[in-house]
Chains A and B, each alone.
Chain A
Amino acid sequence: MGRRRRRQPDPADAARALPEAIAALSRTLPAAPSPEIFRRAKFDRPEAAPALWRLLFHVLSPLSADSASVSFTLVDGPPELASPIAEAQVRWVKSVLHSQGYPRLALVQLQDDGSQGGRELLLALAWLLARGPLPERLLTQSHVRLGDEMPVCECEALASPGPPAPRVEAEGSVDIRHLQWLMGKLQLRWRNLMAGQQEQCALLGKIHSYTRGCHSDRSLGHLSVTETELLRDPEGGRQLLQRLETENARLEAALEWRHRELVFWRWMDTVLDTCPLEASPPTFLPRIPEPGAGAAGLPVRELQALQEELQALQEELRKAVEARRAAWQAAVGGHGPEWRAARRALQVAVAQDLAALQWAWEQGKGQARPHGPRRLVRTEARVPGRLGLWATEATEALRAREACLEAMLHQLQGQCRQELARLVGVRPGLIWVPPPAR
């Protein structure tokens, strides 16, 4: 297919290739308008803008942490005819694009009512598509999960809370007892979670063992809750099947898009050419940003926190290294030539080790194993040849993380104690109070 495109294409093919590519894109993205809208957007026609705003919104919101905070009307029917996009959503799209580093200022200059800017929005969409595998990400995010899933990576188990309701904070100061009450409530919630989780695991274990041998896929062996549920409830099963088939259609469209996308990029070059060059410095007064906001929408606080973490890490390492180096110098002695060779070998090994570690975060792959929730499969212990992560191994990895966090917590508490002790020395009249006997 690539070769076909490289030689001079037949004009008829060329005429077809672009609409087909855009059609494939449109079929794989959620809430995408027809290829005709895309074409009109190139010429900045007004009818293109609302549809593209909507598309951008639907493309950005699944992948954003706080999408829940921006309510939106569901789109039934053709996207072009859906109700106009709200101003809040337009602003949200602008700010998300900005925080991702969108370079063009023209976007922010578009009116908030969403009535203009088809071409700019088209460029924004192309920019998102060029930076990463956007259709695939969206499909992964909305993937129909058929199994009982459990994430075992280092991701936080807690999702970010739902829409952060604008809270009316207490006027003035806060009663300490209120804080205590909140903390107690939090403890209670965790206890309930733990208990509920244990019960759920027990139930899963039963369901998995009762349905052993039922699955057509031998590597799975038993049914999951989702699958059993669809047998119990045919109506729900029908809906699940429909979702699955929709996803299949989008997957096929994504594959087609990947095959055809080159012609789209050539076209986008022409779109960019039709845009006037942006003036280098903005000629209007920039809006004063909120205090504490960085250029990429990152609060300075977050950067500060990261710096402090790194510095704390550096300090801990420094102490450890000093101690060990001293101990080493004291202990070493009288090692012969074989020691030098061994030392060099060790240096090389450690260097490789650390390079791999560095690569892990540079390349954006945090773990050796793929990441994300995994399907639970109950199986006989240690059957060789099973491809998958064993729960026992995952448990070990989590224990390491648990130890790490506990150490961090103790360290923070230790700092607090030190500080308190320091204050005790500074302020007379300080009395310590024993905790009440429970």
Chain B
Amino acid sequence: MLPAECSRRLVAELRDALDSCAELQRQLEQSLRVSRRLLRAWEPAETPAPEPTPGPEINEEAPSSACPPSPQDLKELELLTQALEKAVRVRKGLSKAGEGVKAHSLKSGSTSPATRASAPPSTSHCAGSCAPGTKPPRGIRHPWVPAKDLPGRRLLLVGDGAHMGKGAGANKPEAGLRDQQIIPQAAPPVPEAFTLKDKGALLRLPEAFRKAASRNARLWAQLSSMQTGDSVDAAAATAKTQFLQKMQTAAGQPGSRLSSAEVGRLQKACSLLRLRMREELTADPKDWTQEYRSLLTLEGLQALVGQCLHRLQELRSAVVEQPQGPWPEGPPRAASPCGGGADPMWSPQLLLYSSTEELQTLAALRLRVAMLDQQVHLEKVLPDSGAWVTVCSGGVGHGEDSRLSLLVQPPRSTREGVDEGTCECAGALGGGGGTGAWCLDSCPRLGPLKCTRPP
């Protein structure tokens, strides 16, 4: 068996590593679920409010309702129509401006009243059998339609689009179509499901959402620009510094303690320096200028590392000197190279890719780097001296033991860890006294091992 302490530590670290992976897997699976669902045909019950319908779609939607609307729905429809008609009259001029854009973005020809009329509305009563979702889901494009006023969850209007939940009825700006459109028709057509592939390009985001999103971006931009100082900020900054100093002196504690920020900086320094060193060492100097430059850089890096070490020593000795206060034990600080440098402010950053392969390569590489990071960490976890020897032993199933010889002898200190359980292997080999028998296949640290005979 392994020495208790180091093996427990290793098990704990392995379990942490497994947990981290499991968490990533969980998140990934959730994303996969969502994405897969989006790429399938959308359930009719979930179809959101459609946009004003373009021509071809109307035809497909013609069979959109399998049951006749109820009188109540018709009444609602009527009220709604009136409201919309009025709105159209008011806003006709405004919407004309956007006409060209919209028509183009619909990617279809101009719609005609005839095609519109053929698409009957369906109502919430038919939720089960009807397919209000046959209309391609669209967002709301017309800003003036209040999203919250319109009643009914599944009330669909021909040509006007429909509102679902928070959606609002959208309208085509063309006047005159309205009158012809709202003819409840009880046509029992075959509903055609919406797929992203076919009609994804017709989607539009709801107006309320767009407004909120753009306001959000604007506010963030304002907040970011505030940080870059103005007269108000300077006064506040001074006040803050003075307050902090006052806090420090009022506390009566000697000097400044080892701050985790400082250590974080040193950790980041270490990783940046290492990265830079790698770059220099792997670079191939082509002429003496580059060679010399490389040499100077490495010497400079060496000096910087020396400085960091010196600073670290200073900090550590300061820690030792100060009395350990009565503070409750704190949480271990997770040190990450980016943690200290994390932007306090969000800003919209884009990652541009042009093909799925590019994206996959990047994602795979990210995971690989994370995996390597984890492996390096596990390597470092193993304490020194004899313990690693025992860890090198990786168990193989008993069935394969027969042809394996004896194994790495454990260090003297751990011999007492040998117990009955491992003696079976030793027994099969007639192993020497006191040797622990472990199967050694490929060691996580060493990789595959060679076979040599004992002297």
Q: Do A and B truly interact?
A: yes
Interface size on B, residues (CB 8 A): 233
Chain B residues within 8 Å of A153, by CB: 338
- Write the chain A residue with the least CB distance to B231: A2
Q: Does A251 lie within 8 Å of B257, measured CB to CB?
A: no
Q: Does A216 contact B (CB under 8 A)?
A: yes
One of B79-87, B171-179, B325-333 at the interface: B325-333
Note all chain A residues with C-beta closer than 8 A to B361: 391, 395
Say yes or no for A81: interface residue by CB 8 A criterion. no
Q: How distant is the Cα of A38 from the Cα of B360 in the complex, in angstroms?
A: 52
A158–B21 contact, CB under 8 A? yes
Q: Is the CB–CB distance between A314 and B305 below 8 Å?
A: yes
A189 to B337, CA, bound (A): 25
Interface residues of B in 8-34 (CB under 8 A from A): 8, 10-12, 14-25, 28-29, 31-32, 34
Complex: chain A residue closest to B393, CB-CB: A176
Question: Which residues on B sit within 8 Å (CB–CB) of A83?
Answer: none
- The segment from B57-65, B66-74, B292-300 found at the interface with A is B292-300
Q: Given A254-B223, A290-B329, A364-B265, A203–B301 Cβ distance below 8 Å?
A: no
A216-B210, A227-B205, A310-B270 known, 12 other contacts, Cβ within 8 Å: A5-B232, A154-B338, A161-B20, A179-B395, A189-B18, A228-B200, A295-B322, A306-B270, A394-B351, A404-B278, A435-B442, A435-B449
Chain B residues within 8 Å of A402, by CB:
365, 368-369, 372
Task: Tell me how many residue pairs across A and B have CB atoms closer than 8 Å.
Answer: 709
Q: Which of A130, A156, A317, A376 counts the most B-chain CB atoms under 10 A from its CB? A: A317
Q: Check A103 for interface membership: any CB of B closer than 8 A.
A: yes
Interface residues of A in 303-331 (CB under 8 A from B): 303, 305-307, 309-311, 313-314, 316-318, 320-321, 324-325, 328, 331
Interface assignment of A162: CB less than 8 Å from any CB of chain B:
yes
Q: Does B212 lie at the interface of the complex (its beta carbon under 8 Å from any beta carbon of A)?
A: yes
Q: Which residues of B contact A13 (CB under 8 A)?
A: none
Please report the C-alpha to C-alpha distance between residue A199 and residue B33 in the assembled complex, in whole angstroms.
Answer: 11
Interface residues as binary, B272-285 with A (CB distance below 8 Å gives 1, 0 otherwise): 11111111011000
Known: A140-B343, A347-B296, A358-B304. A95 touches B328 (CB 8 A): yes
Q: How far is the CB of B424 from chain A (nearest CB, A)?
A: 12
Expressed in whole angstroms, the Cα–Cα distance for A165 and B200 within the complex equals: 45
**Considering residues A255, A295, A361, A423, which has the most beta carbons from chain B within 10 angstroms of its beta carbon?**
A361
Are A299's CB and B332's CB within 8 A? Answer: yes
Asked if B49 lies at the interface with its beta carbon under 8 angstroms from chain A, I say yes
Listed residue (B8, B39, B201, B346) with the most chain A CB atoms within 10 angstroms of its CB: B346
Q: List the one stretch of A29-37, A47-55, A143-151 in contact with chain B.
A: A143-151
Provide the bound-state CA to CA distance between A395 and B357, in Å. 12
With A303-B316, A366-B338 as contacts: A3 and B231 at CB distance below 8 Å:
yes
User: Total interface residues on A, using CB and 8 Å?
Assistant: 238
**Interface readout for A54-76 with B: 1 if CB under 8 Å, 0 if not?**
00000000001110010000000
User: Distance in Å from the Cβ of A69 to the closest Cβ of chain B?
Assistant: 7
Decide yes or no whether B90 CB sits under 8 A from chain A. no
Given the complex, which residues of B lie within 8 Å of A174, measured CB to CB? 1-2, 4, 7-8, 10-11
Q: Which residues of A contact B139 (CB under 8 A)?
A: 231
A:60-110 near B, CB below 8 Å: 64-66, 69, 91-92, 94-96, 98-101, 103-105, 108
| B115-123, B159-167, B184-192: which lies at the interface | B159-167
Residue from the set B209, B265, B324, B421 with the largest chain A CB neighbour count within 10 Å? B209
Q: How far in angstroms is the closest Cβ of chain B from A263?
A: 10
Q: Note all chain A residues with C-beta closer than 8 A to B355.
A: 205, 381
Collect the chain B residues with CB atoms within 8 Å of residue A129's CB: 240
The reply on A286 being an interface residue by CB < 8 A is yes
Q: Is the CB of A157 within 8 A of B369?
A: yes
Q: Is the CB of A420 within 8 A of B446?
A: yes
Residues of A within 8 A of B164 (CB): 234
3 A-B pairs with the lowest CB-CB distances in the bound complex, closest first: A388-B350, A297-B330, A177-B395
26 A-B residue pairs with Cβ-Cβ distance under 8 Å, sorted by A, are A105-B252, A129-B240, A173-B1, A178-B11, A180-B395, A183-B394, A197-B364, A200-B35, A214-B205, A219-B350, A232-B37, A241-B166, A268-B243, A288-B324, A296-B258, A302-B332, A313-B274, A328-B291, A361-B340, A390-B351, A407-B278, A416-B445, A420-B446, A423-B389, A431-B405, A433-B405
B454 contacts A237, C-beta separation under 8 Å: no
With beta carbons under 8 angstroms apart, the residue of A252, A297, A313 that contacts B273 is A313
- CA of A64 to CA of B300, assembled, Å: 35
**By the criterion CB–CB under 8 Å, are A435 and B441 in contact?**
yes
Q: Is B428 an interface residue (CB 8 A)?
A: no
Residues of B within 8 A of A157 (CB): 24, 366-367, 369-370
B205-A321 in contact (CB<8A): no
- State how many angstroms separate the Cβ of B54 from the closest Cβ of chain A: 14
Residues of B within 8 A of A400 (CB): 275, 278-279
Which one of A162, A183, A286 contacts B444 once the chains associate, using CB atoms below 8 Å? A183
Given contacts A241-B208, A244-B216, A298-B260, are A346 and B289 in contact (CB under 8 A)? yes
Smallest CB-CB separation from B371: which chain A residue? A190
Q: Complex formed: what's the CA distance from A104 to B249 in Å? A: 9
The answer to the question of B53 belonging to the interface, with a C-beta cut-off of 8 Å to chain A, is: no
Tell me whether A225 and B205 are in contact in the complex, defined as CB-CB below 8 angstroms, given that A357-B272, A389-B350, A398-B366 are known contacts.
Answer: no
Write the nearest CB–CB distance from A222 to chain B, whole angstroms.
9
CB of B156, distance to nearest CB on chain A (Å):
13
Please determine whether A240 and B38 come into contact, CB atoms closer than 8 angstroms: no
Q: Which of A103, A183, A318, A377 contacts B302 (CB 8 A)?
A: A318
| A200 CA / B202 CA spacing, docked (Å) | 23
Residue-wise, chain B 339-360 has the 8 Å CB interface mask toward A (1 for contact) of: 1111111111111111110111
Q: Given A139, A154, A328, which contacts B271 in the complex, CB threshold below 8 Å?
A: A154
Given A258-B226, A321-B302, A357-B272, A230:B252 Cβ within 8 A: no
Within 8 A of A (CB), among B188-237: 196-197, 200-206, 208-210, 212-216, 219-220, 222-223, 226-227, 230-236
Q: How far is the CB of A247 from chain B (nearest CB, A)?
A: 6
Nearest CB to that of A181 among chain B residues?
A: B395
A350 to B302, CA, bound (A): 13
Q: Is the CB of A351 within 8 A of B300?
A: yes
In the assembled complex, how far is the CB of residue B447 from the closest CB belonging to chain A, in whole angstroms? 6
| Residue contact B105 to A392, C-beta cutoff 8 Å | no
Tell me if A10 is interfacial: C-beta within 8 Å of chain B. no
Question: Are A431 and B407 interface neighbours, CB within 8 A?
Answer: yes
Candidates A332, A350, A429; contact of B454 at CB < 8 Å: A429
The residue that B330 contacts in the complex, of A98, A409, A428, with Cβ under 8 A, is A98
Question: Are the CB atoms of B312 and A132 closer together than 8 Å?
Answer: no
Q: A residues within 8 A CB of B406?
A: 429, 431, 433
Is B453 on the interface with A (CB-CB < 8 A)? Answer: yes
Q: Is the CB of A235 within 8 A of B42?
A: no
Contact A126 B331 (CB under 8 A): no
Q: Are B350 and A377 in contact (CB under 8 A)?
A: yes
How far does the Cβ of B305 sit from chain A's closest Cβ, in whole Å? 5
Does A15 reach chain B (CB closer than 8 Å)?
A: no
Which parts of B41-57 form the interface with A (CB within 8 Å)?
A: 42, 46-49
User: Closest residue of chain A to B395, judged by CB?
Assistant: A177
Q: Judge whether A196 and B25 touch: CB under 8 Å.
A: yes
Residue ID in chain A nearest B251 by CB atoms:
A103
Which B residues touch A127, using CB under 8 A?
A: 243-244, 247
What residues of A have a CB within 8 angstroms of the CB of B149 in the complex? none
A321 vs chain B, min Cβ distance (A): 5
B146 surroundings in chain A (CB, below 8 A) = none
A94 and B328 contact, CB distance less than 8 A = yes
Interface residue B36 (Cβ < 8 Å from any Cβ of A) = yes
